[in-house]
Structure 1
Amino acid sequence: MAKKTGGFLPISKEDMVSRGWYYCDFLLVTGDAYVDHPSFGTAVISRVLEDAGYRVAILSQPDFRSEADFAAMGQPRYAVLINSGNIDSMVAHYTASKKRRHDDSYSPGGVGGKRPDRAVTVYAKLARRAFPNTPIYLGGLEASLRRFAHYDYWADHIMPSILQDAGADGLMFGMGEKSVLEIAANLKAGKRGPDVCKQVRGTAYFTKNAQDISFPAVWCPSMEETVEDKIKYAESVKIQYAQQDHITGKAIVQKHGHRLLVQNPPSIPLTTEEMDWVYGLPYERTYHPSYEAVGGVPAIAEVQFSIIHNRGCFGGCNFCSLAFHQGRYISSRSHESVVAEGKRIAQHPDFKGYIHDVGGPTANFRFPACKKQETQGLCQNKRCLFPKACGNLRADHSDYLKLLRQLREIPGVKKVFVRSGLRYDYMMADDNDEFFLELVKYHISGQLKVAPEHMSDHALYYMGKPSFDVYRRFKERYERINAKLGKKQYLVPYLMSSHPGAELSDAVHLAEYLHSIGYMPQQVQDFYPTPGTLSTAMYYSGVDPRTMKPVYVAKTPEEKEMQRALLQWRRPDKRAIVIKALLQAGREDLIGYGKECLIRPRPNEHFAHLHTEKPSKRHGRGRNTQPSRRTDRTTDRRAARTSNRSGGGRRDQKSNQKKKYTKHR
């Protein structure tokens, strides 16, 4: 058994020797820089194994052109564990329009190109070349969401399970603390092949023998069937989603040629005591000091002084992979554990008094949605918040509010922010204003980011989001509470274009609404078909897996650009495509001089059915002629400038605008 010595885990042979190690039990390979913080999966899994007495060495962003970096660390005694990092390597490298990104916030100095495309597969093949007889196990988001035959947006076709392409021995999906410890124990006991995984929840493996399946199982269409038939692919996704509950879920079997891919039921979620243990391990809470010379790792900035208090999300948005990865069941840490972490943060030499976030996948969930989930599992054909809040939902923020109050009382803490993933529909299901009042009073800095995603109920249905009326009422309540407290704070809505089911008319309606409130988002997220989501299955198959009915999908670059451009109709560079979209949608009435019009004609431009109202001399051509809306529109634009939607839009900020916004805040 390894003896814990504190500090960062070894990242080189020299580090191992300095600890008196001449081998490691596990070599953990990651596509991220090595950051020893509980927001990073590599840090959590390595610390969990270390706490169990295993020797773990970290191989971060190895040279992917040869196996030399793998061999340099020496052959591990039990296995090589591989992940691509905190995010999918393809998402890290490409935008939704498949344009190459130039930077990478999870790499030293933010420099891109430090990991390969399809990093898990590349690393696994290099590990096999370096250590032909050593077991290889995959984990993390990239592997988890590719555990079955899946549609790959970048290649634009169905790909087999990542286990097949990588040639690995097994895969851990979801949150892997329990499964990695069981796998480690099985390897230590001398087990090999399917025997390592076949009785371990939260794992997937290949076998040729159906008798290796240790749990009650359902079969989904084979990999070959999903390649040949898009409807079969949608059916397979529906079956896979139906079994992702730790209480009711069965094993899932999918044939790949002559072999059987077996996904065991999901891991049992961590108890509160187990989560306290995981987050109480001796993390350094920063990046490895070897990166200091190149400016560190940018990704640490948002999370170094943030706290994760929960896991899981029962929101169930169709475009989100959380239900397929972490699951919909909520686990949470104790107040004592969270406050203890807050006190450790307050003692950090770089801490300036601000806890940046107290959240998780969804910040304001502290317990399962209803009592039934604790013993009977989650409903398969119902959602807790969609299309409206379930009658059994426990909408109660009192425990979360108590936790925030305790964090505010820690000596040295000036402010505790809540910045990630607030479900406004869950807040609206809670009639008590107490949490809402304190959120606005103490936990927001000028703006609150929420995600209505759209305003067309037609589009929202396919997203799995509640009616836009819920957001409208939330906005009114937010403004009322701000007024009551004498504050001027703004909502920054995240919006998405081109989601399956969203038609051009839906985008026009959204543009009309945004125009009516004097707000144009600086950034818009175009739908990104990533593996493991119901929305991606819609995009590829053209049917909704929930109902197996056809769904409209905007796929051509022009269709997608039209929907996106309509949400930023004021941008001069979008003018031509916005006009084309309006004409195609039969909405020439929105081109003219009326206050409801999106586009003002230029000299020598001729459109049918123009409004006859002339532009105001005071405001000039092309501007809203309602003076009373200028203030609202300006402040909304200011608030939107800090919205940073991953993969969407661009920032065009002038220095004088930055100064005004800073002064305003």
Structure 2
Amino acid sequence: MPIKKLSTKSQFLPMTGAEMAARGWEELDVLIISGDAYIDHPSFGPAVIGRVLEGDGWRVGIIAQPDWTDPQSLTVMGRPRLFCGITAGNLDSMLSNYTAARRKRREDAYSEGGETNRRPNLATIVYAQLARRSFPKLPLIIGGIEASLRRVVHYDYWQDKLRPSILQDARADLLVYGMGERAIREIARRTEKEESLEGIAGTARLLGARESESGNFVNCVILPSLDECRADKGALIRLTKLVEREQNPFCGKPLVQFHGERALYIEPPAEQLNSEELDRVYELPFNRIPHPSYRSPIPAFSMIRDSVTVVRGCGGGCSFCGLGLHQGRFLSSRSEDSIEREVRRMTKSSNFKGTVSDLGGPTANLYGCRNGIRENCRKCRRASCLFPNLCPHLDIDAEAAVRMMRRIRALEKVKHVFIQSGIRMDVALRMPEYIRELARHHTSGHLKVAPEHLHPIVLRRMRKPGPECFERFRKLFEKESREAGREQYLVPYFLTNFPGSTPGEMKIVEDFVRRERWKLRQVQDFIPLPMTPAAAMYYSGLDYETETPMHVVRGLAERRGQMRQLRPETHGTHKRKQGAGLVRKKQKEKLDF
């Protein structure tokens, strides 16, 4: 069913009764509750879902960051007719609120003025319970990355305990996992016709005790139950492996996990949007700015204001990252025409200064690459297309990204086009022309790369390429920068306290930084995100592949030790002569304590 295009001038989705009245609406069809400030930009999930539903003709409103102590804060636009959609926002709310040291963050990038305490802990649960009180018997649909990564039994790092599926505590009718456009349109259609919400790809339901007892689960994969996970820490490893194996939308089986007498039933993932569908979503009438009710800047908006998403999905399967579990492993790239149209609209804004800050997505240089199109891919149960080596069925298009970047930077009023999203270095080494283009035209003085570690065993546990990959990429980037006569800075990100990384393994990174006289811009301390393999390793103390015991750094004092190994004051500073290749800039380290 194609998304309709609105003929009227774009308006913000209403946030108040007065804004509803200005549209001539007496009631909403769908109400979206979000833990983020409302920014009408395609980088923000609530705005995307709202615009997709609006494009189908539904009347959609948004309540952003409501007062979670007051049920009346949800009723400013009345009771919606079909359902209420609930999301914590673009991040897990616990990650938004707390650091790796389990301390309250000083800034919330997704709130007006960076103000903290605008969203509760476990916001999806709190908002859902509030909505149940405000709108009795109204269908409640939870989604977003918090719901995605907490859809099964999971380890919560900040509370240091196992938690059941978020559905159990939220008491919602349905959970949408993944990007959600396909599922939410089907949910709207079915709720309008008062049809069952069973069998929608990319959703999960918590069955009643009677239905759970009589259910036919013969064709399902039975996951370790909540009780089994609580009794045996190793069960979380086995659970995570089973979930990963069934993430292919073409061959994945339904998953069942018992929570006491009730069964959590998870449908196979929804198929990724194809290029044409992705174009339609990103060309919906976004205003690309925050709602006009905000008076102070929203930090996250300033970071992505002039960025353009060009690719979705991630085939990397890094064990510490939730993107693959949320966006999916298969890639979708937008057409060059669609990207150009979006940039042309950006250039018409009075706020546009001539710089496109990013053409990216989870991994910028996977634009134009394809997987999931061959029969082998449709049967594949690997968690990664890139590890332990690049899959031969991954079609790497070395020209698509280069052609697209050249086309965008040639546009009138565009002075600079930069790449700020992650670069997958092992793929980039298969695309020397891309590295050349990147070094000569699309690096804003700094290029962020993420080797994450340099010890081969730790890298294996991360599902990252070996240390030689970083070194080869570095030399090639140096060469291209030197030949272009450009002084450029490589900004590497290293991850401390990853499971299995002791001070001994970290010393390899420390020695490298000291030898290269490199002052790091930022040191990232590992945070176990729910449902990821790395979280299972952290919780269980077992290697993910071999299930053998390994050391895990847990206490704050011990965690600080690895951070100190990479502190900049312990190393000298060095700046090569201009034109000699890669240059390291003296930078202040940001410690995420």
Higher relative contact order (CA 8 A, sep 6+): 2
Matches within 5 A, 1:21-420: 21-191=25-195, 195-196=196-197, 198-208=198-208, 209=211, 216-291=219-294, 293=295, 295-370=296-371, 373=374, 376-377=377-378, 379-381=380-382, 383-420=384-421
Question: Relative to structure 2, which stretch is displaced further, 387-396 or 237-246?
Answer: 387-396
Q: 1:460 to 1:560 in 2, by over 3 A?
A: same
Q: Is the 8 A contact 1:329 1:368 kept in 2?
A: no
Could you tell me how far apart the structure 2 residues matched to 1:486 and 1:77 are?
62
Q: 1:444 to 1:627 in 2, by over 3 A?
A: closer
Q: Report the Cα offset of residue 425 of structure 1.
A: 1.2
Could you tell me how far apart the structure 2 residues matched to 1:364 and 1:630 are?
27
Matched position secondary structure for 2:299 = coil
Root-mean-square deviation (CA, aligned residues, Å) is 2.5
2:15 to 11, 14, 22: 11
Q: Report the Cα offset of residue 327 of structure 1.
A: 1.1
Any unmatched runs of 5+ in structure 2? none
Could you tell me how far apart the structure 2 residues matched to 1:628 and 1:436 are?
21
Q: Report the Cα offset of residue 550 of structure 1.
A: 2.5
Per the alignment, residue 590 of structure 1 pairs with none
Q: Is the 8 A contact 1:199 1:214 kept in 2?
A: no
Q: 1:65 to 1:163 in 2, by over 3 A?
A: same
Q: Report the Cα offset of residue 631 of structure 1.
A: 12
Q: Report the Cα offset of residue 382 of structure 1.
A: 6.5
Per the alignment, residue 561 of structure 1 pairs with 560
Q: Is the 8 A contact 1:28 1:46 kept in 2?
A: yes
Deviations 1:473-510 (A, max 9, x none): 11111111111111221211011001012121111121
Matched position secondary structure for 1:168 = coil
The amino acid that maps onto 2:408 is: L
Q: Percent identity?
A: 40
Deviations 1:579-599 (A, max 9, x none): xxxxxxxxxxxxxxxxxxx7x
Per the alignment, residue 608 of structure 1 pairs with none
Matched position secondary structure for 1:459 = helix
Q: Report the Cα offset of residue 175 of structure 1.
A: 0.6
Q: 1:523 to 1:631 in 2, by over 3 A?
A: farther
Matched position secondary structure for 2:491 = strand
Give me the TM-score of the superposition, normalised by structure 2.
0.94
Q: Is the 8 A contact 1:308 1:359 kept in 2?
A: yes
1:469 matched to 2:468: yes
Deviations 1:496-530 (A, max 9, x none): 00101212111112111111111131321110012
The amino acid that maps onto 1:636 is: R
The amino acid that maps onto 1:88 is: D
Q: 1:564 to 1:311 in 2, by over 3 A?
A: same
Give me the TM-score of the superposition, normalised by structure 1.
0.84
Could you tell me how far apart the structure 2 residues matched to 1:44 and 1:183 are?
16
Q: Is the 8 A contact 2:308 2:339 kept in 1?
A: yes
Question: Relative to structure 2, which stretch is displaced further, 384-393 or 316-325?
Answer: 384-393
The amino acid that maps onto 1:74 is: G
Matched position secondary structure for 2:429 = helix
Could you tell me how far apart the structure 1 residues matched to 2:75 and 2:68 are?
13
Q: 1:267 to 1:505 in 2, by over 3 A?
A: same
Matched position secondary structure for 2:584 = helix
Deviations 1:583-635 (A, max 9, x none): xxxxxxxxxxxxxxx7xxxxxxxxxxxxxxxxxxxxxxxx68x9989999995
Per the alignment, residue 661 of structure 1 pairs with none
Could you tell me how far apart the structure 2 residues matched to 1:357 and 1:481 are?
20
The amino acid that maps onto 2:474 is: K
Matched position secondary structure for 1:299 = helix
Matched position secondary structure for 2:43 = coil
| Higher CA-based Rg | 1
Could you tell me how far apart the structure 2 residues matched to 1:630 and 1:556 are?
44
Query: What is the total number of aligned residue pairs between the two structures?
Result: 586
Q: 1:33 to 1:525 in 2, by over 3 A?
A: same
Q: Is the 8 A contact 2:317 2:383 kept in 1?
A: no
Could you tell me how far apart the structure 1 residues matched to 2:541 and 2:183 are?
35
The amino acid that maps onto 1:56 is: V
Could you tell me how far apart the structure 1 residues matched to 2:582 and 2:276 are?
48
Could you tell me how far apart the structure 1 residues matched to 2:128 and 2:576 are?
61
